[in-house]
Structure 1
Amino acid sequence: MKRTLRTALCATLMLLGAACSRHTIIPDDELAMIFRDAYLANAYISDQRVTTDSLRIYEPIFARYGYTTDDVHYTIGNFSKRKSARLSDVVERAIDLLEAEGKIYNRQVEILDTIDNVARRTCTRTVLADSMLRIRSLRDTARLHRTLDVQPGEYRVTMRYTIDSLDRNQRGLKATTWLERKDSTRMSYYTTSLRRDREEETFTRLFTVDTTHRRLHLNLLDFYARPERLSMFVEELRVEYTPPTGEAVEELYDRQLDIRIFADDFFRTTQPADSL
């Protein structure tokens, strides 16, 4: 990291130090700040592919600190005459500033990411829940065939089940799920075999829904061949909905509006007497 920053800053200095004439000498601390800002300007120009053929992009930076391009030229050139100071020390100081700010921004990104995750968890709600389902006949299978209207966000389908030894469907059972678009076509079609003779197997499927979808179809018990005697127990069937992250964050903030930060006495002191 430091090597990359040092190379970039040195390249900047070569551009800035193209001419030297007698002008104001900039203090080292401020020069380090200027170098930092110049590096960020270079990084932005490179990232955004901005075309520039002059050093005028730096003039607003110098002006912010109260200096001119000639002042910067003169200060850089003057380092060769100063026995107690080295330009490399200023460059290192600018690098330290960039790295320190980078850590702060990384931490802020982590905090925002945490807020997003908290908002998503807080706003997740159950839209379908059923439990203790005993499936022993074809009529019972209707309890595992569900259709839900959907809206943008994520839908997580979870089923905890057991197919015991009394089941006679030798070719096995399967679960099928899909999304229906508004034009009635299917997408995200998924089929998987249900495991038997093991307690509390879990089927899980996550769907990402956008404005082109209108329904979620769950056919959580189907057959590969002619149905035989069934023996299946569903301990829990659940569908959870999580809104898009932006909506979840807004909803979380709205919920916090009711939290009382200040005591009532604080507001009373700010109100006119006749309004009490």
Structure 2
Amino acid sequence: MKRLFRLALCGLLLAGFGCARHKIIPDDELAMIFHDAFLTNAYLGTQNVRTDSLRLYEPIFARYGYTTEDVYYTIGNFSKRKSARLGDVVEQAIDRLESEGKVYDRAVAVLDTIDNVARRTFTRTVLSDTLIRVSSLRDTSKLHFTLDVEPGEYRLSLKYRIDSLDRNDRGLKAAMWLEKRDSTRANNYTVTLRRNREERFTRNFTTDTTHGRLCLRLLTFGEKPQRPSLTVRDLKVEFTPPTDVAVDRLYEKQLDIRIFADEFFRAALPPKDSL
């Protein structure tokens, strides 16, 4: 495995790079990129997938906030960094792969890692808000949301605080449920909201073709609602498609991966005319 890494990476060390400014990827993140890309390639190899595109790398790089050009530039820049060795980064990725191999059967480890890469790649935020203040009964509508859903997983996360200005003695709750296409409710969930300190809240919902909407009522009252005083921060709902769907999309979107495939290195080489 170490020999494969070294043979693959030496091509980029010999490649020419332009003068455009690109991001330098920190060593730890570069090691994780190597790790994810190598395992993705290994998995495709077990499936005998033959492809002719390099786009499979792009979402892996993008997941860490980088482009293919950033990877080229970072690897090429190692020759200018006196205190850094590309070999150390490679060893870090290898150590992680080998430690995983000790815990799981290699084939299972590869499958699991590729599934996770695919799921991370296609996870998207469908609702977000950094700050919502509710200081009147009219404001409660700010915390009522209805989202159309598709099969997969939805994760709700937020932080809230009910402060001393709130006039409700008790009975403040959050309610949420899935609405089926026949208008019936499923997965009803309520939680009593705590007072006078910041609290974190998360909830996961698994949806299928029978579900139509996710309903969130993040502030509800008892019998006699009084003036509320509530702050919600970092509200987010993220959607992740089913694993098999995510992997299929990964195949469709990314068509060639070997860490690193020959085409990846050829793309980094300067044109023959410039040699």
TM, length-normalised to structure 1? 0.55
Which residue does the alignment assign to 2:214? 216
Q: Which has the higher contact order (CA 8 A, sep 6+)?
A: 2
Any idea what the Cα deviations from partners look like across 1:147-198, whole Å, max 9, x if unmatched?
0000000001112111111111101310000001111110000011011111
Q: State the secondary structure of the residue aligned to 1:206.
A: strand
Q: State the secondary structure of the residue aligned to 1:261.
A: helix
What is the CA distance between 1:252 and its match in structure 2? 2.5
Which residue does the alignment assign to 1:177? 176
TM, length-normalised to structure 2? 0.56
Which residue does the alignment assign to 2:192? 193
Amino acid corresponding to residue 232 of structure 2 in structure 1 = V
Percent identity over the alignment? 61
* Matched-pair contact (CA < 8 Å) for 2:137–2:226: no
Amino acid corresponding to residue 221 of structure 1 in structure 2 = L
Which residue does the alignment assign to 1:86? none
**Map 1:1-276 → 2, pairs under 5 A:** 106-199=105-198, 201-257=199-255, 260-261=263-264, 263=266
Which residue does the alignment assign to 1:34? none
What is the CA distance between 1:117 and its match in structure 2? 1.4
* Matched-pair contact (CA < 8 Å) for 2:135–2:227: yes
Amino acid corresponding to residue 213 of structure 1 in structure 2 = H
Q: Aligned equivalents of 2:160 and 2:170: distance in 1?
A: 18
Alpha-carbon distance change, 236 to 182 in structure 1, aligned in 2, over 3 angstroms: same
Q: State the secondary structure of the residue aligned to 1:248.
A: helix
* Matched-pair contact (CA < 8 Å) for 1:176–1:220: yes
* Matched-pair contact (CA < 8 Å) for 1:120–1:245: yes
Q: Any gaps of 5 or more consecutive residues in structure 2?
A: 1-101, 258-262
What is the CA distance between 1:264 and its match in structure 2? 5.5
Alpha-carbon distance change, 220 to 252 in structure 1, aligned in 2, over 3 angstroms: same
* Matched-pair contact (CA < 8 Å) for 1:158–1:205: yes
Any idea what the Cα deviations from partners look like across 1:92-128, whole Å, max 9, x if unmatched?
xxxxxxxxxxx99921111101111121122110000
Q: Aligned equivalents of 1:190 and 1:104: distance in 2?
A: 37
Q: Aligned equivalents of 1:125 and 1:256: distance in 2?
A: 18
What is the CA distance between 1:131 and its match in structure 2? 2.0
* Matched-pair contact (CA < 8 Å) for 1:152–1:210: yes
Q: State the secondary structure of the residue aligned to 2:169.
A: coil
Alpha-carbon distance change, 264 to 166 in structure 1, aligned in 2, over 3 angstroms: closer
* Matched-pair contact (CA < 8 Å) for 1:171–1:225: no
What is the CA distance between 1:202 and its match in structure 2? 1.4
> Larger Cα Rg: Structure 1 or Structure 2?
1
What is the CA distance between 1:256 and its match in structure 2? 2.7
What is the CA distance between 1:215 and its match in structure 2? 0.5
Between the two proteins, the alignment pairs up a number of residues equal to 166
